[in-house]
Amino acid sequence: MQQKTISLPAPAKLNLFLHINGRRKDGYHELQTLFQFIDRSDILHFTPTAKHTIQITPEIDGVSLEDNLIYKAASLLLPYRQNPCGILINLEKNLPMGGGLGGGSSDAATTLVALNQLWQCDLTTEQLTKLGLTLGADVPIFISGHAAWAEGVGELFTPANPIEHWYIVLTPDCHVDTGEIFSHQRLTRDTPKMKIAPALEGEVKNFQNDCEAIVSELYPEVNEAIQTLNQHGRSRLTGTGACVFAAFESREQAESAFSKLPKSIKGFISKGLNSSPLYVETN
């Protein structure tokens, strides 16, 4: 078998704000958020094999193969596979785990998009999105490939075009437990629902992340990152964290602020993107 490797990005996202509007009877939370991609990605390399199995390298410490979202995503496509080859997936991990950048969800989405092509499944974007939602509420946005306003548990989204700022993203050295945050008794769950128009009109400076107060209290590293970045711009938590970010109008402004941060603070500069790099690569 000719082994032609396809390499595709799994881009990060930012939640430009995150409002929690209530808790449903099934335990999930009603929320409103605005997703935007950034030009920072994991890279996945897909190599067809003759073994008819799903192999993933390298192994992730503490995560079994069956619990790996990449493996779960690939397994969902097995019933639709027209090209019965196996697949070797090598993950080049650049995004922090538990950072709120959507790395695991993005890896799963890229896997669905790539294997839909390699295995000749011929599923539509809508069908892939429905499969992706079974893996997590953030997966559909990465499959859709465009910045979006999201509601429900995050699965109801409308394409949006927020300003493509430059961002400083700080990556505190901790792994935030999303379940712990959403189950916390003092989590704000009553932010009034807002209309979509203000978010689609561009600027979201006055919006907030309802998880930020609890995450800052439970994770001192996150609180330190927020306080540090606040000295140079308005910082916000993305998702349930741990990463925090601040927006700047130009790369020069972001670089200038980044150069003034303590050397002990980890992070990077990134460009906001309303179109996913995944589809730039696949088209």
Query: Is position 267 within any domain?
Result: yes
Identify which of 56, 141, 119, 134 has the alpha carbon closest to the alpha carbon of residue 93: 56
Query: Is position 56 within any domain?
Result: yes
Q: Who contacts 216 (Cβ-Cβ below 8 Å, separation ≥6)?
A: 222, 223, 226, 237
Cα angle 277-12-240, degrees, rounded to a multiple of 5: 155
Query: Is position 220 within any domain?
Result: yes
Q: How many domains does the chain have?
A: 1
Query: Is position 67 within any domain?
Result: yes
Cα gap 70→77, rounded to integer Å: 11
**Confidence band, pLDDT 50/70/90 cuts, at residue 282:** low
Query: Is position 1 within any domain?
Result: no
Query: Is position 232 within any domain?
Result: yes
**What is the CATH classification number for the domain harbouring 50?**
3.30.230.10
- Segment 182-229, tens digit of pLDDT: 999 999 899 988 887 666 665 555 679 999 999 999 999 999 999 999
- Provide the mean pLDDT of the chain: 92
Query: Is position 176 within any domain?
Result: yes
Query: The domain containing residue 17 runs over which residues?
Result: 6-282
- Segment 108-130, tens digit of pLDDT: 999 999 999 999 999 999 999 99
- Segment 139-167, tens digit of pLDDT: 999 999 999 999 987 778 899 998 999 99
**What single-letter DSSP state applies at residue 67?**
G
- Segment 216-260, tens digit of pLDDT: 999 999 999 999 999 999 999 999 989 999 999 999 999 999 999
| Annotated catalytic residue 205 | no
- Token pair listed for 31: 């929320």
Question: Which is catalytic among the residues 42, 107, 138, 210?
Answer: 138
| Annotated catalytic residue 39 | no
- How many residues in total does the chain contain? 283
Question: Which is catalytic among the residues 13, 42, 107, 210?
Answer: 13
- Token pair listed for 63: 């995560």
pLDDT at 152: 85
